[in-house]
Amino acid sequence: MNFLRSALRWSLLFAAPLLISPAVSAAQTSTHSSPAPSRVKQSGAAVPEAYPPALVQSGGSLFRQNCSFCHGRDAAGGESGPDLTRSKLVTQDVGGDKIGPVVRNGRPAKGMRSFDFSEQQIAGLVAFIHTQQNTALRRKGGRKGVDASDLQTGNVEAGKQYFDGAGGCATCHSPTVDLAGIASRYQGLELEEQMLYPKHAKSKVTVTLASGQTITGTLEYLDEFTVGLIDSTGAYRSWRTGDVQYKIDAPVNAHVELLSKYTDADIHNLMAYLQTLR
């Protein structure tokens, strides 16, 4: 597979066993022209909707041709693409209002291309993906994919020791400051991925112009030829790398350095410890 696609893993926020989002029971405002799914409400919680079988089938066919390589034929994960049956975005989607834009626009930064599908085709994909998620959610136990319960093999005390000692985590992080409540914000696989390498972490950059003036901001773009930042006013500014000097402060690189040092037990222990920080 193309490793650009492996970058896709953050493209849809997926989480451990999902609650049916309140958004599902919110009024449907979708404008698509497909047959609207029937909806039944029960004591405030939405029951998974049923889509017309023909729509699900056509969506499944399109999914298989265009999406299944990365997301799996059953939408439960393929070559590195996220498991859509565990996707928070899918759970929160109402009639394609969240899935549609992702499909149409892609997530270029994460390696997902865009698709120029018609309204009807998107409606089919939406019906198929929701149907797959609903089927998966109804399954009690023995579910494929990564559950939070799979990630409980570590030792809390050993994890704390690693955090304070060999791992060097305490150099930058504190369980009572930035990591307070981290296990409430992220669970299961999402927490583990954040722990191993927080992809959304921003770096700082200080650019020194030929005049001697310095500008510090959030690193927004960098290749061999151009450095770009968001300055303190929120504006994007860029320079040719040959015209300036720049210094990047990327504390996230400490996570990269750990990758070659971790044992699998270190990771499991660290997970056990982080999961106590609710």
Contact residues for other proteins, defined by CB under 8 A: 1-7, 9, 61, 64-66, 68-69, 72-73, 77-80, 83, 108, 111, 113-116, 142-146, 150-154, 189, 192-193, 196-197, 221, 223-225, 255-256, 259-260, 262, 264, 267-268
- In the bound state with other proteins, the residue whose beta carbon lies nearer, of 61 and 174, is 61
**CB of 129 or CB of 151, closer to other proteins:** 151
- From CA 80, how far away is CA 218, in angstroms rounded? 29
Query: Could you tell me the smallest distance in angstroms from the CB atom of residue 198 to other proteins?
Result: 10
- Specify the residue, 25 or 203, whose C-beta has the smaller distance to other proteins: 203
Integer Cα distance of 104 and 99 in angstroms? 9
DSSP H/E element including 41:
strand 41-42
- Nearest residue to 116 via CA among 100, 140, 128, 131: 100
Min dist CB 58 to other proteins, Å, is 12
d(CA 185, CA 182): 5
Closer of 78 and 175 to other proteins (Cβ)? 78
Give the whole-angstrom CA distance, residue 58 versus residue 62: 6
Give the span between the Cα atoms of 257 and 260, in whole angstroms: 6
Nearest approach, Cβ of residue 69 and other proteins (Å) = 4
Beta carbon nearer to other proteins, 46 or 69: 69
Q: Which two tokens stand for residue 111?
A: 């390696």
Closest distance between other proteins and the C-beta of residue 233, in Å? 25
